[in-house]
Amino acid sequence: MSEPPALDVLLPADLAGTRLGPDPTEAALRALWTRPPGPGTGAHPEGPWVRAVMIGTLDGAAAGPDGRTGSINDAADHRVFTTLRALSDVVLVGVGTARDEGYPGALDLPEALVAARGADGFAPGLPLAVVTRSGQLSDALLAGDARPYVVTHAGCPRLDALRTEVGAERLLVHGDDDVDLRGAVAALAAAGLPRIALEGGPSLLARMVTLGLVDELSLTLSPQLVGGDAPRMLAGVPFLDPVVPGRLVHLLHADGVLLARYALGRVEG
C-alpha cells in the first residue's frame, strides 16, 4: 500500500502553512479535530456530540456512478475518515448505506490508532449502530461474532427476529411507527457512546439535520464532476426553513482535495 498523502493546513490562521505528514498514530490530525469547535466549548463537549462525515463532488453528488462513495474518494479522504472513526465512540449509519457500502458488523482500525484511542479515552473497539425501519439487515452485518447496535421502532415487523440476530442488549427501540432519532442519540449516549460519527447516507443525515441533532460536519470536497442523478448530501427533505448555517473551523488540502470541518447547531461564535 502506498504511503498516505501529506495534508496542508489552510485554516485556521495560526496553523496555516503546516504540513501534516503521514503518521500511524495521526497525532496531529487527532489534535486538530479535537480542538474546541467554538467559543465556550471544550475538546469533548458535554452530552451527545454528533459529527457527520461526508464526501461530495464539485457538482454536488454524494456518491459516484456506482452508487458508492468509494468511487469518489481518495487516499487523503481515507486518511481523515479513518482518523475520525478513531475519535468516535460509535459509528451511526442508515441500513441502506450499510448495505450499499458493504459495512461489516464490526469496524476495524489500524493497530496504531487503536492504541491512540486508548490514550484519548476511548474504548479499543469501535461499534457500529444501524438505523432501520424494516429491520432487514444485510448478511455482512451479521457475519462473524460481533453484532451492530440496531436502532429501530416499536412497529418494526422484524422486532422479534432482531432480538435473536443481534441480542436484546444491542437493540435500541425508539418511536412507535418510525424511528425516534432524538431518543436513539440519547440512548447511545446513555450506553456510554456519546461521540457519534454519522456516516450517512443522505436520507439519515437529512433527518438528523432537520431535528437539529448534527453538531459538526466533516466534509471532503472531491474535485470531480460525475453528472447523473446521484443523491445530494441531504436527501428526502424539503428546503430547510430556516437554513442551517455552518462555520468553518479548519480546512486542509491535498492534491486538489479539500477537507473541511464545519461547526453546526449549538456552537456559538
CATH number, domain containing residue 104:
3.40.430.10
DSSP 167: -
Question: 163-192: per-residue pLDDT in tens?
Answer: 999 999 999 999 999 999 999 999 999 999
In a 3-state reduction of DSSP, which class is residue 17? coil
pLDDT > 90 fraction of the chain, expressed in percent and rounded: 85
Give a yes or no: residue 265 inside a domain. no
Q: What is the pLDDT of residues 115-137, one digit of tens each?
A: 999 988 899 999 999 999 999 99
Whole-number pLDDT of residue 148: 96
Task: Kindly report, residue by residue over 150-162, the tens digit of the pLDDT.
Answer: 999 999 999 999 9
Q: Structure pTM?
A: 0.94
- 92 in a domain, yes or no? yes
DSSP string, 18-47: -EE---TT-HHHHHHHTS-SSTT--SS-SS
Strand partners, 197: 51, 91
CA-wise closest residue to 196 among 147, 142, 262, 127: 127
Residue 153 covered by a domain: yes
Cell of 176: 412507535
Domain presence at residue 268: no
Q: Identify whether 252 is part of a domain.
A: yes
Helix (H, G, I), strand (E, B) or coil at 15: helix
pLDDT in tens, 206-254: 999 999 999 999 999 999 999 999 889 999 999 999 999 999 999 999 9
Total domains in the chain come to 1
Cβ atoms of residues 95 and 130 within 8 Å:
yes
What DSSP state is assigned to residue 228? T
Nearest to 225 by CA among 200, 256, 202: 256
Whether residue 3 is contained in a domain is answered as no
In-domain check, residue 245: yes
Q: Is residue 10 part of a domain?
A: no
Residue ranges making up the domain that contains 67: 48-257
Could you report the per-residue pLDDT of 30-61, keeping only the tens digit for each? 999 999 886 656 566 667 999 999 999 999 99
Whether residue 6 is predicted with pLDDT greater than 60 in this model: the reply is yes
d(CA 126, CA 106): 7
CA angle 197, 125, 182 (to 5 degrees): 35
Q: How confident is the model at residue 106 (pLDDT cuts 50, 70, 90)?
A: confident
Range of 13-22, 45-54, 140-149 with top mean pLDDT: 13-22
The predicted structure's pLDDT at residue 70: 87
